[in-house]
Amino acid sequence: MSLDQPLNSLGFAKPPAETRVVVAMSGGVDSSVVAAQLAREGYDVVGVTLQLYDHGAALAKKGACCAGLDIHDARRVAEEMGFPHYVLDYENVFKDAVIDEFADSYLAGATPVPCIRCNERVKFKDLLETARDLEADCMATGHYIQRKMGVQGAELHAAADANRDQSYFLFSTTPEQLDYLRFPLGHLPTKDATRALAGEFGLSVADKPDSQDICFVPNGNYAAVIEKLRPGAAEPGEIVHVDGRIMGQHEGVLHYTIGQRRGLGIGGLDEPLYVVKLDVDQRRVIVGPKEMLATRMIPVREINWLGDAPFESRAEWNLTVRVRSTRPPREAVIRPLSATTAEVELLTPEDGVSPGQACVFYASEGSRIFGGGWIWRG
């Protein structure tokens, strides 16, 4: 091989045909387009789909990934584009690493984000190791996020399409993982551009709808899933005003989230009330006026830092943070307490900041992601 061999589109100094890439295929449009595009470019593509939960129960469920119909769709795309495809049974791993923690966190009054844990503990850990076992040069996914090379190595950047950006769900990607991962869709301007590519490649999934719910939570009914996983979890209790008044009864703390206003089951109110705290030990849902939801100081732990300088090398970092996936980044001061814990001060208070959600760090200007951590006490 010539020393001046140009880098291919995945960043390797060798021809695509000599570059093996494992593509994590969920069966949806995004990962299918990634696999098809790389196969079209001549790469040695290997498609891998993880079966994450009960095949029989999931077979007829549309709008989720990694089960039944989606495994079939991923296999069809591999056949259409002419590359090998494998299905790996990760049901036990997924239950231990993601589903059990989801249930326990909810029962503890938190609002977990299982998609982050799945990326962190399953897709970018076990599946990534499988890709290395297959002697792949890298692993590619259909996530909408960008990997760019900086002075210190690979950096994580938000997707070009802000409406599709998935950086909130990928903040825990480590530098070592980032070195191995590729995200070929992150630069695309819109989801329509992805569907156009699917049509161009003649893929059977070109018009397949996007997944919406958490894959193992049908129709967004968290409580039903948790009651099945943890029988007896939905124990009744009291709805209590912050001033001590008992406002009514509830059928289980797990049916409520911080910031909730609708469906409290308490009528005849002079003021709108919101869930401001969940007291799991006393089985109490505590409600109060909206101003009680405003939070300025947020304790964060399990921090994954993606900056060039060590996290503790400064007394504070002036960045922007996102405390929910649906909210824009807000200006903040991040004060490290250790390599993995910090106090985050929002310059403008936010409503409904909840333990169990992620706090993701962004550059004040530009698209770079500096990591993030987990909000851990109310």
Q: Which residues are catalytic?
A: 118, 215
The two three-digit tokens of residue 137, written as one number: 């040069």
Helix (H, G, I), strand (E, B) or coil at 360: strand
Q: Is the dihedral of CA 64, 69, 71, 75 positive or negative?
A: negative
Dihedral over alpha carbons 115, 217, 354, 375 (to 10 degrees): -30
**Furthest-apart CA atoms within the chain: distance in Å:** 79
Radius of gyration of the chain (CA): 22
The two three-digit tokens of residue 206, written as one number: 């070109």
Within 10-96, where are the H helices?
Answer: 29-40, 55-58, 68-81, 91-94
Gap between the Cα atoms of 180 and 132, Å rounded: 9
Provide the b/e sequence for 111-135 (b: ≥16 CB within 10 Å).
Answer: bbbbbbbbbbbbbbbbbbebbeeee
- Kindly list the distances between the CA atom of residue 225 and the CA atoms of 7, 49, 208, in Å, as whole numbers in the listed order: 48, 24, 26
Q: Which H or E element spans position 349?
A: strand 342-350
Gap between the Cα atoms of 85 and 47, Å rounded: 4
Q: What share of the chain is helix, strand, coil (3-state, %, to 5)?
A: 30, 25, 45
Helix (H, G, I), strand (E, B) or coil at 276: strand
Q: Which H or E element spans position 362?
A: strand 358-362
Gap between the Cα atoms of 9 and 299, Å rounded: 41
